[in-house]
Amino acid sequence: MFHFAYDEDGQLRAEEVLLETIAARVGTPCYVYSTATIERHYRVYEEALNGHPHLICYAMKANSCGAVLSLLAKKGAGADIVSEGELHRSLRAGVPADKIVFSGVGKTGGELEAALRAGILAFNVESEAELDELSAVALGLGSPAPVSLRVNPDVDPATHPYIATGLSESKFGVPITDGPRLARRVAEDPSLRLVGIDCHIGSQIVTLPPLMEALDSVLVLADELRASGHPVEHVDVGGGLGIPYEGEAPPHPSEFGAAVRARMSGRPEKVIVEPGRVIVGNAGILLSRVVHPKPTPSRRFLVIDAAMNDLLRPALYQAFHDIWPVRRSEAARDPYDVVGPVCESGDTFAKGRALPPLVRGDLVALMSAGAYGFVMSSAYNSRPRPAEVLVSGDRFAVVRDRESIEDLIRGERLPPWWDDSEEQR
């Protein structure tokens, strides 16, 4: 359910709050998230899997804002983390350690230790070298580490190549054919404990078959391992269900859930899922103000105060984000190239996008920006990162301040030898 809509006066609101009010109070650019949308998406996913034991480990890389995480933690979500930073953020937000799974191809010894000390549910182990490292860390702590083998089922998710992860040539997971050997390796090591198998074949997947093909492969492996006496307490299907950005028609979570439940029926393993985008993607927008239109002999540019440093997806993946004027207009539309102020031609949000006439000071909303938006932002061009705002009904609050100029230069200093004058050398 979508909670960004025009009211009868043609004004765009986030739930009941006028985006114009947020822009006036908080400034632009800023991210605006809808509590109701996040809660609803989480509930729909929960309901989709009801009937089989399951755990939703929200892939917090999609949006790790403390307030968003706390909201999901309160609903009972676990977390899929990929760094020590995410471990701390998730614990701080109230996600219980025993609902946290740790993914990633390059976990350092320090990260493994921090997560083991915290008592997480499982390490999604992605290589034999990681097993060795985890074993050593666990031995040192005297605490066996729970291992879920992340296998690569070699399935084509038919998504953007940068976010496909389940092909044999990708850096992720271990070849599924290595599963039995690595399970034996885990079983023989008193510092390790096999708890599950997982996979994640990619992101923004808009059809079910690749996801189900991956799950089927994982279940074949689970059967094989169990037959050899290995416990497999859970299977983790990863994240990946896509969202509509530009008219895509991804399966509803209930279809995904029904397909998963059909396969899991009568099976002993708990199901873990790691959705990110589908929970928060359409729960957030990036609110921006027009700096000025800039017609040139060949293009009609619209320069806005958000840029690729605030929302990288269009520049990095040629991703489509709808752009809505905050004040609805019936005026004839013209094709605009919507760009930011950063000194790169790639700082382009849309080319030839049909928009009504817009002038300096008008507000626009870049839609579907709740996932992989703020988390991928940077301070490129020394642009402070934007504020984040959470709306609930008729209330809103800044849940992360806009960075200040002071924030930008925090930690910088000149080298101490510049105190000595060059003459003294």
List CB contacts of 156: < 8 A, sequence separation 6 or more: 164, 166, 167, 210
Residue 204 interacts with ligand LLP (CB under 6 A): yes or no: yes
Which residue number has the CB closest to ligand LLP? 239
R_g (Cα) of the chain, nearest Å: 24
The residue (of 200 and 400) whose beta carbon lies closer to ligand LLP is 200
Q: Name the minimum Å distance from CB 38 to ligand LLP.
A: 14
**Cα(283)–Cα(368) distance, rounded to whole angstroms?**
7
The residue (of 274 and 362) whose beta carbon lies closer to ligand LLP is 274
Instruction: Name the one residue in this structure whose structure tokens are 């013209």.
Output: 334
Residue 313 interacts with ligand LLP (CB under 6 A): yes or no: yes
Residue 230 interacts with ligand LLP (CB under 6 A): yes or no: no
- Count interface residues toward ligand LLP (CB under 6 A): 19
Please pick, from the candidates 64, 90, 103, 127, the single residue that binds ligand LLP as defined by CB under 6 A. Answer: 103
The continuous run of DSSP H or E covering 148 comes out as strand 145-152
Burial string for 61-76 (b: 16+ CB within 10 Å, else e) reads: bbbbbebbbbbbbeee
The residue (of 150 and 353) whose beta carbon lies closer to ligand LLP is 150
Please pick, from the candidates 210, 276, 325, 340, the single residue that binds ligand LLP as defined by CB under 6 A. Answer: 276
Residue 80 interacts with ligand LLP (CB under 6 A): yes or no: yes
391 in Cβ contact with 35 (< 8 Å): yes
32 in Cβ contact with 67 (< 8 Å): no
Span interacting with ligand LLP, options 45-53, 87-95, 273-281, 384-392, rule CB under 6 A: 273-281
Site map 108..147 versus ligand LLP, x via CB under 6 A: ----------------------------------------
Strand partners, 322: none
**Cα(192)–Cα(112) distance, rounded to whole angstroms?**
13
Residue 325 interacts with ligand LLP (CB under 6 A): yes or no: no
Residue 253 interacts with ligand LLP (CB under 6 A): yes or no: no
**Residues 329-336: contacts with CB under 8 Å, at least 24 apart:** 329/10, 329/356, 329/357, 330/356, 331/356, 331/357, 332/356, 334/300, 335/300, 336/293, 336/300, 336/301, 336/302
Does residue 343 carry a catalytic annotation? yes
**Cα(236)–Cα(197) distance, rounded to whole angstroms?**
6
Strand partners, 34: 391
Q: Of 30, 57, 65, 343, which is the active-site residue?
A: 343
**Cα(147)–Cα(275) distance, rounded to whole angstroms?**
20
Q: Name the minimum Å distance from CB 275 to ligand LLP.
A: 4
Q: What residues numbered 8-67 form the site for ligand LLP, per CB under 6 A?
A: 59, 62
Site map 153..182 versus ligand LLP, x via CB under 6 A: ----------x-------------------
Binding residues vs ligand LLP (CB under 6 A):
59, 62, 80, 103, 163, 200, 203-204, 238-240, 274-278, 313, 317, 372
Residues acting as catalytic residues: 343
